[in-house]
A and B are shown apart, each in its own frame.
Chain A
Amino acid sequence: MALAPDNISPEEWGIIWLSLKVSAAAMVATLPVGFALAWALARGRFPGRVLLDGLVHLPLVLPPVVTGWLLLIVFGGTGVAGRWLAAMGMPVMFRWTGAALAASVMALPLMVRAIRLSLESVDRRLEAAARTLGASPMRVFVTITLPLALPGVLAGMVLGFARSLGEFGATITFVSNIPGETQTLPLAIYAALQVPGQEGIVTRLALISVGLSLVALVASEVLTRRMGMRAHVL
């Protein structure tokens, strides 16, 4: 069995662990931003809403290498945000944090979409009923809107996590392919493919990728079904 645990070398375990760490960090970092954007797009009425919608979705259609290059300009060693982060003790260049940042940007559109759909599916009439029962807008949000939207928010998080696991182009452009630091599963597979005789590693890592992605997609689909939404990812 190619996938028996003792066939997986310590280096490969390290790659899997790094991938999970990068994806988890990306998911956590994207959530507040993604939720705020989803809220603004679902409930906000402001000029520039369509433009904001377009910007959020840009990483979905832009060539990932372009996204990576833009990240390099903004967050690179000479970029404004890059210097600020380095000064704050959180450098991202050639670090796993940079890989998480790239994954986070690529996961954002999917997460925003799922959360936005779930917020739009919350019946505003229930919120109005809660107001008449004495709830302030903040309490309505915490006791009615959020619980009803929660399956969609979780689905968005899982989807963002899955997208992060597969992130390749923006990452390799932005923070390169450094074993132990930025070499996540897809980058490790790519690196192994460059060297003859590495078919075993490629197969194992590819199968692990398929497994992780499938689990995440099924989890997301189950959560989506639970909330009775018609927006399925499969």
Chain B
Amino acid sequence: MSFEVDVSITRGSRRIAARFEAGPGITALFGRSGAGKTSVLDMIAGLARPDEGRIAVDGRALFDAAAGIDLRPEARGCGYVFQDYRLFPHMSVEGNLRYGWRLAAPDARWIDFEQVVEFLGLAGLLAARPRRLSGGEAQRVAIGRALLSGARFLLMDEPLSSLDAARREEIMRVIERIRDELALPILYVSHDRREVERLAGQIVEMD
């Protein structure tokens, strides 16, 4: 199993719980806005601490309340692609791409800088500052940055939601290529039924 997730967390007065197992390829976490989909990604990334439960990816436990396991975010090997890109504004595109790559252990780097630039078509953007980028460009840089950090799996939080139709198609193709050519397990959050049906091999409904 790529993802084994059984967690719950209390956010204010609400309790958000998720339980699913997912195979390789893209698994969609599908549900209306406010269902707690992002909270689930945050728990898997280690940015939020579940009250209880267990999270494992490819058989490696990232969090296990019963066993006292709670890996730090930087030790989880996760590539988190955020809805709002979160590119570092004080670095160039190249600086953003290399940020995680520099920090990754040499044997964790499974793709190199030139490959990512080629794969995502970033050659013309390397010197640019993030604020100069269009939404589609920024999202490609964010994906490249995650891949270069030596990620063993990707978490994608509505990566298409702030893009226009043409950019959506562009990023959707990129995600399909990551699925097919790089064979990286992806957990994909969305509230768009068509998007999910096109990309995902498996759908987890949250309500």
Contacts of A144 in B (CB 8 A): 88
Tally inter-chain residue pairs, CB-CB below 8 A. 56
Contacts of A3 in B (CB 8 A): none
Contacts of B145 in A (CB 8 A): 133
- A133 contacts B90, CB within 8 Å? no
B78 within 8 A of A: yes
Kindly identify which residue among A125, A133, A147 contacts B99, using a CB–CB cutoff of 8 Å: A133
Kindly identify which residue among A123, A134, A136, A143 contacts B104, using a CB–CB cutoff of 8 Å: A134
- B47 contacts A132, CB within 8 Å? yes
Q: Closest CB of chain B to A32's CB: distance in Å? A: 23
* Interface positions of B from 180 to 207, Cβ below 8 Å from A: none
Contact with B along A122-149 (1 / 0, CB 8 A): 0101101111111110010001100110
Measured in the bound complex, the distance between the Cα atoms of B48 and A132 in whole Å is 12
B45 within 8 A of A: yes
Contacts of A139 in B (CB 8 A): 103
Kindly identify which residue among B79, B88, B89, B150 contacts A130, using a CB–CB cutoff of 8 Å: B88
- A131 contacts B146, CB within 8 Å? no
Q: Closest CB of chain A to B189's CB: distance in Å? A: 15
- B86 contacts A126, CB within 8 Å? yes
Using CB atoms, name the residue of chain B closest to A125.
B86
With A131-B46, A131-B47, A133-B149 known as contacts, the answer to whether A148 contacts B100 (CB < 8 A) is no
B73 within 8 A of A: yes
- B103 contacts A129, CB within 8 Å? no
Measured in the bound complex, the distance between the Cα atoms of B123 and A17 in whole Å is 53
Interface residue total, chain B, C-beta cutoff 8 A = 24
Kindly identify which residue among B73, B79, B89 contacts A131, using a CB–CB cutoff of 8 Å: B73
Q: Closest CB of chain A to B78's CB: distance in Å? A: 6
B63 within 8 A of A: no
B74 within 8 A of A: yes
Using CB atoms, name the residue of chain B closest to A143.
B99
- B99 contacts A130, CB within 8 Å? yes
With A125-B82, A128-B47, A129-B82 known as contacts, the answer to whether A135 contacts B90 (CB < 8 A) is no
Most buried by B among A126, A128, A129, A136: A129
- A134 contacts B88, CB within 8 Å? no
Kindly identify which residue among B79, B88, B89, B90 contacts A132, using a CB–CB cutoff of 8 Å: B79
Kindly identify which residue among B74, B76, B82 contacts A136, using a CB–CB cutoff of 8 Å: B74
Q: Closest CB of chain B to A224's CB: distance in Å? A: 16
Contacts of B80 in A (CB 8 A): 129, 132
- A135 contacts B74, CB within 8 Å? yes
Kindly identify which residue among A123, A133, A147 contacts B103, using a CB–CB cutoff of 8 Å: A133
Kindly identify which residue among A125, A129, A131, A148 contacts B90, using a CB–CB cutoff of 8 Å: A148
Most buried by B among A126, A134, A147, A148: A134
Using CB atoms, name the residue of chain A closest to B78.
A132
Residues of A within 8 A of B (CB): 123, 125-126, 128-136, 139, 143-144, 147-148
A129-B82, A132-B46 known, 15 other contacts, Cβ within 8 Å: A123-B86, A125-B82, A125-B84, A126-B86, A131-B74, A132-B47, A132-B73, A133-B74, A133-B145, A134-B74, A134-B100, A134-B150, A135-B74, A147-B90, A148-B90
Offer 16 A-B interface pairs, CB within 8 angstroms, sorted by A: A125-B86, A126-B86, A130-B99, A131-B72, A132-B46, A132-B47, A132-B74, A132-B78, A133-B74, A133-B100, A134-B100, A135-B74, A135-B99, A136-B72, A147-B90, A148-B90
